[in-house]
Structure 1
Amino acid sequence: MSEEVTYAELKFQDSSETGNIQEFDQVGVKAPPVPSHVWRQRALALILLCLLLLIGLGVLGSIFYLTSKIEMEKLEKLQNFKDKLQSNVSLQLIYNMDNLKKIRNLSSTLQEMATKLCYELYRKEPEHKCKPCPKEWMWHKESCYGEFKKYETWQQSDVTCSYHNASLVKIKNKSVLEFIKSKKFYDYWLGLSPREDHKPKKDLDETIISSDWFTRNTSDLNGRMYCGYIYDSYVYYDFCTSRKNALCKKLANSVKIESILMNEEPDGRM
């Protein structure tokens, strides 16, 4: 009797659940649940995709790291090569500068020796081929001195000197003073500035520091102005229109070393 009751209850419950399911299907309120194995497949696929992406990122990162490392090594080698090249160039420049300085010093020494030797030859033979002055000009230190016995006015004598790329002699140091005194010049115009007032004679030694050696404008000379001239070891003043000789001075050429050894004539500075 009890077994029948139990069976009847179970059957009733089954029939009532079936009715509920049918009722929900008809109305559309509640859909049947998705099986759990579908979600597992989707989750597994998503996990695999993420792993593949991570693996791909790792591979790309490794490739980027290796490439960057190789490029950095190349760049470092190039930088080292550049630094070494710059260092070698700097050392070569220093070496060349040292050699150039030595060559210049040697050239200067040879030039000094040649000048001294030529001067000794000039003392024995005034028109020696090594003389750095034009023919018939006197040589002293770095200058050439020329006498022009034309008996001209001071202004005309100044023009004569200019024609030979020279100027009237100015005595501004002891060396020039002693040279001029040793030659005993008489009645030669000097490069003293013309002046309006007359000056008494003065010993040549007293004129070295004189500001009168700086020749001023001479374009407006007239018969009332005075110009200085040398007579032995004294300086006198006379009218600039008086007629006297011209004593000119200009820079000497460099002594040519080959002119001491060869027979060619040096070029005179005209």
Structure 2
Amino acid sequence: MSDESVHADLKFQDSDKKEETQMSDKCGGKGSSPASHSQRKTVMILSLLCLLRFIGVVIIGGIFYTSSETEMIKSNQLQSFKEELQRNVSLQQMYNLNNTKEVKNLAAMLQNIATQLCRELYSKDPEHKCKPCPKGSQWYKDTCYSEVSGYATWQQSVMFCSSQNASLLKVKNKDVLEFIRSKMLSNYWLALSPRKDDINYETLSEKMFFSEWFEGSTYDLNTMFCGYIDGVYVYYTECTDLNRIICENPASKVQVESVLNGFADGSL
């Protein structure tokens, strides 16, 4: 081959390389290699994953927000229901309290009516079954008076009445004073504190019973004086002397059933 032919071939190859370089420059740079293509795919995948993650976060956030709103609504509804329930309970309690008061008032009124009716029955029959006192006793106001047969010392009388859940005769107020005076009792021990000195007599009065109750031994009473009633006067004698006994104790409540039975029996 001649020198001119070799020179022509080299020139042609150089021109081909220049054209490839120019085409590469026109397309925006050098031609992409296999490595740069793989990098673009990785970037695209990572971008897609980031986008999916972002979408997932948005969806989860939306779900959380919706759930929070739902729970808030339920919580408010529950609070409203609780407050309404508390109001209803308060109203019911007030209603029950008012009913309880009304029932108590009605019960007290019924008790008073029954007591008044029983007194009417008692005035006609002193041993009527509605009487709230032991058989053989006398009912006055809210007290039962029971006379005991026989005689005893003052201390024996106190012990006997105590065994009956009662006490010796005493005057609590002016009404009882008039009641006791009207009975014209004679030689009955009184629930007066024993005294060391003997006096002639005193007029019976409710003020005599205001002093503290005496508590002493038998030995102490051997030299002391105790009071007893005779008509409207109080006399003192040695506590070891013998006198009669009246015990008194609070009357029970009149039983409404016994009064109703009185009506059924034609007692009223």
TM-score, normalization: structure 2? 0.79
1:239 — aligned with what?
A: 238
Mapping of residues 187-202 of structure 1, within 5 Å: 187-202=187-202
Q: Distance in 2 between matches of 1:195 and 1:147?
A: 25
1:143 aligns with 2:163: no
Q: Is the 8 A contact 1:191 1:215 kept in 2?
A: no
Gaps of 5+ in 2: 1-6, 18-32, 264-268
Q: Secondary structure at the match of 2:205?
A: helix
Compute the displacement of 1:224 (Å): 1.6
Q: Secondary structure at the match of 1:196?
A: coil
Mapping of residues 1-270 of structure 1, within 5 Å: 37-205=37-205, 207-208=207-208, 210-211=210-211, 214-262=213-261
Counterpart residue identity of residue 247, structure 2? C
Q: Secondary structure at the match of 1:237?
A: strand
70-79 vs 232-241, which moves further:
70-79
Counterpart residue identity of residue 91, structure 2? L
Q: Distance in 1 between matches of 2:115 and 2:162?
A: 26
Note the aligned Cα RMSD (angstroms).
2.6
CA deviation string 1:87-117 (max 9, x = no partner) = 2222112111111110110000110111112
Q: Distance in 2 between matches of 1:170 and 1:190?
A: 6
Q: Distance in 2 between matches of 1:113 and 1:239?
A: 46
1:25 — aligned with what?
A: none
1:19 — aligned with what?
A: none
Gaps of 5+ in 1: 15-32, 265-270
CA deviation string 1:156-183 (max 9, x = no partner) = 1112212322110221311221111111
Compute the displacement of 1:70 (Å): 1.9
Q: Distance in 1 between matches of 2:123 and 2:189?
A: 26
Compute the displacement of 1:207 (Å): 3.4
Shift of the 195–89 alpha-carbon distance from structure 1 to 2, 3 Å rule, reads same
79-88 vs 171-180, which moves further:
79-88
Counterpart residue identity of residue 151, structure 1? Y
CA deviation string 1:171-201 (max 9, x = no partner) = 1311221111111111000111122222331
Compute the displacement of 1:128 (Å): 2.0
Compute the displacement of 1:219 (Å): 4.5
Compute the displacement of 1:263 (Å): 5.5
CA deviation string 1:8-67 (max 9, x = no partner) = 9xx8xx9xxxxxxxxxxxxxxxxxx99655554443333222211111100111111112
Q: How many residues align?
A: 237
Q: Is the 8 A contact 2:192 2:209 kept in 1?
A: no
TM-score, normalization: structure 1? 0.78
Q: Secondary structure at the match of 1:211?
A: coil
Q: Is the 8 A contact 1:173 1:208 kept in 2?
A: no
Q: Secondary structure at the match of 1:202?
A: strand
Q: Secondary structure at the match of 1:250?
A: strand
Shift of the 180–198 alpha-carbon distance from structure 1 to 2, 3 Å rule, reads same
Q: Distance in 1 between matches of 2:202 and 2:68?
A: 91
Shift of the 202–104 alpha-carbon distance from structure 1 to 2, 3 Å rule, reads same
Shift of the 221–125 alpha-carbon distance from structure 1 to 2, 3 Å rule, reads farther
Q: Is the 8 A contact 2:171 2:205 kept in 1?
A: no
